[in-house]
Structure 1
Amino acid sequence: MNKIPTYSICNLFGTETCTKDFMACSLKTFLENQSKLIMPHRHSFYQLMYIAEGSGKYTVDFNTFDVNPGQLFFLAPGQIHSWNFSDNTDGSIINFDESFFTSVCYNPHFLNEFPFFNSMTQRSTTMLKEEIKEQALSLFAHIKQEHEADSDFKNDYIRALMLQLLVVLARACQPEKSNETTRYNYTLLRNFEKLIETNFKTKKLPKEYAELLYITPNHLNAVVTSTTGKSAGELIRDRILLEAKRMLVNSGQTISEIAWHLNFEDNAYFSRFFKKYTGVSPDEFRKQQV
């Protein structure tokens, strides 16, 4: 089967117009110049997309969302996505590599601290809240304007504006309640998610993560369930299934090789696991995506 393509910022715009680690433009301009991207693909960079007008469908990691004005989409590297937008769709889009920040940031995992770039419970989209809309859209416009200018300290200024935009959006994604219990639960959930992302191939039981978090399995499950509506085991399982789906559609590996990569005992056990929670076998799922 054909491998789903992975694009860098340079791939999108060609070497003559390539900016190594950052670009910002109107969504309409981007869509007019990147018609090939309606097919499933993935990026090696992060992306913020704001929908000012238009409609359609947007699929991210096998979940399809309706597109409406006022909507924000967040993409992290590696997420498989495609879209079918109406002809009048417009807004703003910002693409940036991790290196754009890490070149001046001590923390190499800086961007993963933002919930919309590293969260299994945060949807890949949200409606821009009215209380931050004016500020956020002003920052989008200011970033685009600065990117198109030829000013001294251009990238440094863009980094400052981008950091402000990311913090504004992250605060808007936080739970509305601000009591100590809610803050503790949210922090614990984020730490749990980060541990899953690092260990899901080798650790599949909630008790293994509870040990890493220095809490009991029951406490971990209670916090996760109260915060997300899902059990701790479900979050672990969802991440394993997402990786399995990505590998099934993006590699020529056999089912047995994928099962081995995800540390299942054998191909049969992996196939039973996959079908139990998706309703189809790995092979059937792969054929559906062709």
Structure 2
Amino acid sequence: MASVTKIKTYHFLPYKYGSELLLDIGRMETLNHFVLDSTLHQLSFYEILFIEEGSGTFTLDENKMTISPRTIFFTSPGQIRRWDIEKQIKGYTLFFEKDFLHLFFSDELFLYRFQYFHQYSRPNEMQIEETHFEKCLGLLHEIEREFGQLQNDSNHLIRSLLYQLLVVLNRYYAGVYDVQRDTYVHADFYRFRSLLEKKFMEDHNVESYTRMLNISPGFLNKICRQFSGLSAQQMIHYKRISEIKKELYQNKSAKEIAYEFGFSDPSNFNRFFKKLTGTTPQQYRKNM
């Protein structure tokens, strides 16, 4: 039986500053825990990393990304991570629980409106020009200053600064990757993304989601292509592959994963994985 690789999970500390605050900021070079952890680990919260100096690689799920100045990494809860540092990293980490924004905006779909979170078909990082990076740092400095003098209404001010930063980053991301930047394309697209995160294990075809959304398959495909460049079925496949790769990190057998993800037998699972990735699950694990 294959041995299981233990993946550490880091959780948010909401009462670090006394009263509950679901966002935090820090200098990467001063944090010794999940930031720069060279072992496999995951977070239960969102994080955005702003690299000012340093070199090496940052692996997020199966994607190995180069660390360099003016690079920004976006991570969503549950992604498998690992750092490989060559030259000391300096920069900011901004991390938060979804409820920091969801409860204020009364919108469960809020964070799905941004292109860079819950992304499994496009990059989770971007490098931006110096003036844009400086604008981001300016907003981070304002958040940092507020943490230095917390008051009863600080969470409102910090939330407004975070919202501004998320929108600005969405514009930059759209410019770098030439994608739709409008955060209000169509509510059904965001509902689909949200459902996909919750239902991908048991629902594998477009019709299942269109029934839940009460829309036609044609309309769902139209809005998916408009905002993501993928069909609805492709989005489902990419999500499943992304999650299967996480299981392969933990050394589960192909048979175990196949039945867990609803495949009728391991051979069908192998064919599906190879069609989407160009390699078998066994080869993928070996390459890791």
What is the TM-score with the length of structure 2 in the denominator? 0.78
Larger mean CA deviation between 70-79 and 238-247 belongs to 238-247
Task: Please name the residue that 1:149 is paired with.
Answer: 149
The offset of 1:21, in angstroms, is 2.8
Task: Please name the residue that 1:69 is paired with.
Answer: 69
1:165 aligns to 2:160 (yes or no)? no
What RMSD, in angstroms, separates the aligned Cα atoms of the two structures? 3.8
Contact 1:23 1:95 in 2 (8 A): yes
| Unmatched 5+ stretches in structure 1 | none
Task: Please name the residue that 2:26 is paired with.
Answer: 25
Task: Please name the residue that 2:8 is paired with.
Answer: 5
Task: Please name the residue that 1:282 is paired with.
Answer: 281
Query: Residue 155 and residue 231 in structure 1: after superposition, are their counterparts in 2 closer, same or farther (change >3 A)?
Result: closer
Q: Distance in 1 between matches of 2:60 and 2:181?
A: 28
SS in 2 for 1:134: helix
Query: Residue 105 and residue 229 in structure 1: after superposition, are their counterparts in 2 closer, same or farther (change >3 A)?
Result: closer
Query: Residue 66 and residue 194 in structure 1: after superposition, are their counterparts in 2 closer, same or farther (change >3 A)?
Result: same
Q: Distance in 1 between matches of 2:181 and 2:138?
A: 31
Cα deviation digits, residues 185-238 of structure 1 (max 9, x gap): 965866654454344334434566567574554x76677668766555433322
Query: Residue 46 and residue 192 in structure 1: after superposition, are their counterparts in 2 closer, same or farther (change >3 A)?
Result: same
Task: Please name the residue that 1:95 is paired with.
Answer: 95
The offset of 1:70, in angstroms, is 0.8
The offset of 1:73, in angstroms, is 0.6
The offset of 1:88, in angstroms, is 3.2
SS in 2 for 1:88: strand
Please show how residues 204-283 of structure 1 align to structure 2 within 5 Å. 204-206=204-206, 212=213, 214-215=215-216, 217=218, 232-250=232-250, 254-283=253-282
Q: Distance in 2 between matches of 1:112 and 1:267?
A: 33
Q: Which has the higher helix share?
A: 1
Letter in 2 for 1:165: L
Query: Residue 247 and residue 151 in structure 1: after superposition, are their counterparts in 2 closer, same or farther (change >3 A)?
Result: same
| Unmatched 5+ stretches in structure 2 | none
Letter in 2 for 1:259: A
Q: How many pairs does the alignment contain?
A: 282
The offset of 1:49, in angstroms, is 0.5
Larger mean CA deviation between 226-235 and 92-101 belongs to 226-235
Contact 2:112 2:190 in 1 (8 A): no
The offset of 1:272, in angstroms, is 2.7
The offset of 1:109, in angstroms, is 3.6
Q: Distance in 1 between matches of 2:195 and 2:279?
A: 28
The offset of 1:131, in angstroms, is 5.7
1:52 aligns to 2:55 (yes or no)? no
The offset of 1:112, in angstroms, is 2.6
Larger mean CA deviation between 55-64 and 273-282 belongs to 273-282
Q: Distance in 2 between matches of 1:61 and 1:137?
A: 27
Q: Distance in 1 between matches of 2:223 and 2:28?
A: 39
Q: Distance in 2 between matches of 1:279 and 1:235?
A: 17
The offset of 1:38, in angstroms, is 1.6
Q: Distance in 2 between matches of 1:130 and 1:231?
A: 35
